[in-house]
Structure 1
Amino acid sequence: MSKFLEYLLIAGFIAVLLVVSHWIGQQAYAWMPIEATEEAQKVDALFSFLVSIGAFIILGLVGMMLFSILFFRAPANDYSEGHPSRGDIKLEILWTAAPTVLVLWLAFQGLNIYQQLNILGLQQIVHLLTPWESQPAYAVSAVSIDEPPKPAAETVDVFVKQWDWSFRYANNVISPELHLPVNFRTRLNLHAQDVLHSFYVPDFRLQQYVVPGRDIEIVVTPIRIGKYTLKDALFSGTYFALMDANVQVESLEQYHQWLAQAEQEPPTIQNQAIAEYNQPPKTLFKSGWYTIAPNQEVIARQRKVTNDT
């Protein structure tokens, strides 16, 4: 086989790999939940790119191995060694530079998405004392706490505790549901009232730790009207599985209508953990493990407690 034909076949194989890998990467969008925010679109685009790269690498390696097995098999009783690839400077540079550039690009894209969330209040989470320093080195967030927050159309205070979520809106409206206006930036002020929790909405591609004693702010821009589910991504106790809350993305008009109605008739939905706590045990023996009894107050009665917080 001539060199020209060999190179032509290799180029054709690479072209087919690129097309197939791109197609597999596009299929990756269907593997994820609905894209409900601008941030989710960018996360999914990055995920699709990673799938395409992974498909290109695995298909390329498998294709190379199959090609070698079919056309470069050693004859019987041939135990000689093949041509070594050591000392090939061009090859060394290629497989060192390519992953380096790829990793740096991925890091830049991840930082870009992170900064769009405008997360504030994460300074001095980890205290590290290096051997050559007398003062601890602090792990800080990518966004400085001194940086002015990005403008947002709405601001919602999010309170989480064992085992429920509550949300405070304008005019001190308290609700067990998170309502967001579509196509408007909304700033969420996250407050943990007892232990470490995690604010996680899969459709938003957003997961943020909520640290006790810290006021953490994030910005989210919903782009799709619908009903979603907020979860606590950290195990926080016996009734952890019940720590769900509805997230309603609606038009700005519907959002203001809901606010007006909620101000006149505060919600009275009871904590789901209370019903579970009051049920008789379904096991023959009690474990005796310590657990925190759910708060017996309904959401409507938490207005004063939350405001005082």
Structure 2
Amino acid sequence: MRPQTADLRNGSTVTEFILVGFEHSSPSTRALLFTLFLALYSLAMAMNGLIILITWTDPKLNSPMYFFLGHLSFLDICFITTTIPQMLVHLVTKNHTVSFVSCMTQMYLVFLVGVAECILLAFMAYDRYVAICHPLNYAQIMSHKVCIRLVCSSWVFGMVNGILLEYMSFRNPFCKDNHIENFFCEAPIVIALSCGDPEFSMKLIFVDAIVVLLSPMVLIVTSYARILASILRRASSSSGRGKTFSTCASHLTVVVFFYTSAMFSYMNPRSTHGPDKDKPFSLLYTIITPMCNPVIYSFRNKEMKGAMGRALGRVNLAQAESV
């Protein structure tokens, strides 16, 4: 496959890309990585699927926090399914080529879901702020209609922003090396392979990342700063404070994981990047964070544990009746 690079540099137009991924690893290493990532992918799918089932069917979890949490799990499932199955296939096959259209589609879906998740995390922080700082008006401010509008707006913003980023990534022709030094079509790497002036596209991607990543982060930091101030002002018991801090800490942990890896990928100069640095951060926000979200955010929650127990009880009852 490598000889194709010389032809491309002579002026041919790129019609497909080659995802280098882990092709330089030994067969035993690839087999180990396949087993590990398949286990992580299966675990992430199972845990997020369970969160969706519980939050959308258990009447005792009928609150905005769990409504947002169910949609976060759905976004996580979409995110990992966009990238990981393809990587698993490439770990066991020698053909790592993807068509131009497939690369565009994958990049758009990553943009859409990633941006939507950034916005949703900010809305979740605002929800915690209203619940803790304005408990008497919580039901009115965070009504079901408002929650639906907030979730829909995160999806719409992701779709619109994805179109802009997709255009900026593919606005120039591709006539250079078609080898992508990662396991999926990541925008900064693909833009660097384009002809013309990739710097303009990179600058716009950087500006967009500032808006998409830092604006929600400002809302998150502001919300939690006010939450912290409100908690410290109250003369509540230490156990009540501990429960509130635990809920906030869970959400902040998710935010730190997701935002840190995304900022490294889209807000750092390409001169500071390299395959050895890009892949770990790409893995962090494409599979590790979606897998950790249910553990960090849900399974420490007593209400969630109770809902899981009720769900398992219904399953066992259904099995007993079928017998």
With normalisation by structure 1, the TM-score equals: 0.26
With normalisation by structure 2, the TM-score equals: 0.25
- Which is higher, the Rg of structure 1 or of structure 2? 1
